[in-house]
Structure 1
Amino acid sequence: MTVSLGEVRAAAERIAGRVRRTPVIEVAPGLTFKLELLQHTGSFKPRGAFNRLLAAKETGELDGQGIVTASGGNAGLAAAYAARELGVRARIFVPVTAPAPKVAKLRTLEAEVVQAGNEYAEAYNAALQARDESGALLLHAYDQPEVVAGQGTVGLELVDQVGAFDTVLVAVGGGGLIAGIATAIGDSVRVVGVEPELAPTLHRALEAGEPTDGPVGGVAADSLGARRLGDLAFEAVRRYDVASLLVGEDAIVAARNELWRDHHVAVEHGAAVAYAALTSGAYKPAPGEQVVVVVCGANTDPATLGQTLAPAGAQD
């Protein structure tokens, strides 16, 4: 199964007025940031959540029974926000290890929070069981066509805002964002996925020739903690020849601190991963190359800015 450019364009029309058109800033000659951390709930995720729910309303698939999703972090916050805005009941399944502040924030968005299992996979299985028992609509964190199409609207905005550019660097967890961006602009722009060495879902899938499960850890695991690349993402990265780069723990922490120190941008560790490809030298632009970095998430504890180490977590 694949997602088409037409579906991304349809998503842009469907979610218009529901999500923010986030700004871009040129921070240096040839380097632009797309500040998707300024999206509702602090990440790009509402784009896909709104598109999934609104599309389901159009088809009658969502008709009063509410939604279920599994996430201890950004996907759950986006689902809860979109559901509240549309007047839909939301049950969010989170592992018992989910950070307490994120669980509390989910409740402020009027979602029912159900804690199940010690990691995302167990919470997801509980969400599937709830869907089967209740008939609720399942909103996947990253591997549904409507979700991918919604995330792809980031790419359409980039072309409209920046014009011509050569390369876009995108952090990868489950792959919904990079799948959407590649579908939107991969025919004309080089799309590069950047991953933590301790959570290399894309790298592992490309090596194996298919998505495979693997261990997750490291400082960025609370937002890039998928154990497996989504099937839709795998199809997209193969179709658009998306490259995979790996960055280490020290590089991620240093990039996050530099974003704060030099650009006054406070991000979660996962959102610093794409920038870390540049600051660590994992990606070296050619002379004159125009590069965009998607800065994708702001759900962090500001007290940790400037620290050299951060606790690892686990999530979707």
Structure 2
Amino acid sequence: MTITRADVDSAAARIAGRFRRTPLAVIEPGGLFGASWLKCEYMQHTGSFKARGALNRVLAAQQAGELDPAVGVVAASGGNAGLAVAYAARTCGVPATVFVPETAPAVKVAKLRHLGARVEQHGTEYAMAYEAAVKRAADTGAVYCHAYDQPEMVAGAGTIGLELLADLPDGFDTVLVAVGGGGLMAGVAAALAGRARVVGVEPVHAPTLHAALAAGRPVDVAVSGIAADSLGARRLGDIGYAVAVQTGVRSVLVTDDDIIAARRTLWAQRRIVLEHGAAAALAALTSGAYRPGDGERVVLVACGANTDPSDL
């Protein structure tokens, strides 16, 4: 199972006018350790890129006649995907039930309820919430919205890549994205295939892409660490793996300390507050895990801001 640029183009047409085209900030020479631009996706509806894919998934199900408006949609999430599905469901006028692990940040749970979703907390990891959500969808006939491994979800995330191509007509070389289940990485890589390289950045305590590339297939990994609430998938998605192999995505690993330092650096230098998972992309540069070549034009995707800023 995979997606292509055509799927991303279709997603862009389907969700047009329902999401924010987020700004691209130019970074002064020498700033942020080698990056040239910051894609400000933390300004998206619900505070993360996930709104794009969720809108595409729900709208596609509606158009196909698969969505019972009385039953609605079900999702499992460490937080951000659930927020996106709740937003998409509200936008499309259908109910949403979101399963989250008991470890989900309180700020995300509160936002889910504010968006009108029914919240069910189950287990201590995303995988446990996922199992409960899949069962609920099977029992009720609700449309299941996977956090990262459905074509519509991935293609929606890929619309970020289309915006980069439009906003940077003179080109760019590399895009750094955080990886959990791989939906963002795969969508952007599919959109940019043949135009720019994509580098996936992962916490050492949740290396789904790194492990999959080493094993030649998605495999389960142990999950822990500072970014587990948003990058806490146990296994890379099948779509993520297929696109990564097809387009040559590589993985770099960063530590919890790297992520914490990068998040604080972004606040100190740009007054931007990101969640730890979203700061992983910057951590690749600040830690030296990824070193751009001379003249390399690098885009950082700042993909989520649903966090508690009190620990900055």
Q: Does 1:53 align with 2:93?
A: no
Change beyond 3 A, Cα 1:72–1:286: closer
CA–CA separation in structure 2 for the residues paired with 1:236 and 1:72: 23
* Contact map agreement 1:33 1:293 (CA 8 A) in 2: yes
Structure 1 range deviating more: 5-14 or 99-108: 99-108
Aligned length: 305
Q: Does 1:154 align with 2:160?
A: yes
Q: Does 1:276 align with 2:283?
A: yes
Amino acid at match of 2:215: A
Equivalent residue, structure 2, for 1:249: 256
User: SS at 2:27's partner residue?
Assistant: strand
Equivalent residue, structure 2, for 1:38: 43
Superimposed CA distance per residue, residues 160-194 of structure 1 (whole angstroms, 9 cap, x where no aligned partner): 11220011111100000000000000211011111
Displacement of 1:286: 1.1
CA–CA separation in structure 1 for the residues paired with 2:296 and 2:105: 40
* Contact map agreement 1:72 1:103 (CA 8 A) in 2: no
TM-score normalised by structure 1 residue count: 0.95
CA–CA separation in structure 2 for the residues paired with 1:2 and 1:120: 23
Equivalent residue, structure 2, for 1:19: 19
| 1:295 alignment partner, one of 293, 298, 302 | 302
Displacement of 1:222: 1.1
| 1:121 alignment partner, one of 118, 124, 127 | 127
Correspondence list, 1:230-245, <5 A: 230-245=237-252
* Contact map agreement 2:54 2:153 (CA 8 A) in 1: yes
CA–CA separation in structure 2 for the residues paired with 1:122 and 1:298: 24
CA–CA separation in structure 2 for the residues paired with 1:95 and 1:280: 30
Q: Does 1:267 align with 2:246?
A: no
Q: Give the CA RMSD over aligned residues.
A: 1.0
User: SS at 1:93's partner residue?
Assistant: strand
CA–CA separation in structure 2 for the residues paired with 1:241 and 1:230: 16
Displacement of 1:70: 0.6
Q: Does 1:197 align with 2:204?
A: yes
Superimposed CA distance per residue, residues 218-261 of structure 1 (whole angstroms, 9 cap, x where no aligned partner): 11111111110000000000000101001111111111000000
Amino acid at match of 1:28: E
Displacement of 1:284: 1.1
Amino acid at match of 1:13: A
Displacement of 1:71: 1.1
Correspondence list, 1:63-74, <5 A: 63-64=68-69, 65-74=71-80
Percent of residue pairs bearing the same amino acid type:
61
Equivalent residue, structure 2, for 1:135: 141
Equivalent residue, structure 1, for 2:195: 188
TM-score normalised by structure 2 residue count: 0.96
CA–CA separation in structure 2 for the residues paired with 1:43 and 1:263: 18
Consecutive aligned runs of 4 or more in structure 1 exceeding 6 Å deviation: none
Displacement of 1:105: 1.4
Superimposed CA distance per residue, residues 252-277 of structure 1 (whole angstroms, 9 cap, x where no aligned partner): 11110000000111101111101111
User: SS at 1:225's partner residue?
Assistant: coil
Equivalent residue, structure 1, for 2:32: none
Amino acid at match of 1:245: V
Equivalent residue, structure 2, for 1:101: 107
CA–CA separation in structure 2 for the residues paired with 1:28 and 1:206: 34
Amino acid at match of 1:241: G
Displacement of 1:117: 2.2
Q: Give 5+ residue unaligned stretches, structure 2.
A: 30-34
| 2:265 alignment partner, one of 255, 258, 266 | 258
Amino acid at match of 1:132: A
Superimposed CA distance per residue, residues 107-154 of structure 1 (whole angstroms, 9 cap, x where no aligned partner): 111111112222221211111111111100000000000000000000
Q: Does 1:145 align with 2:151?
A: yes
Amino acid at match of 2:111: K
Superimposed CA distance per residue, residues 23-73 of structure 1 (whole angstroms, 9 cap, x where no aligned partner): 001112361000000000110000000000001111101132200011131
Amino acid at match of 1:178: M
Q: Does 1:89 align with 2:95?
A: yes
CA–CA separation in structure 2 for the residues paired with 1:75 and 1:281: 30
Displacement of 1:285: 1.1
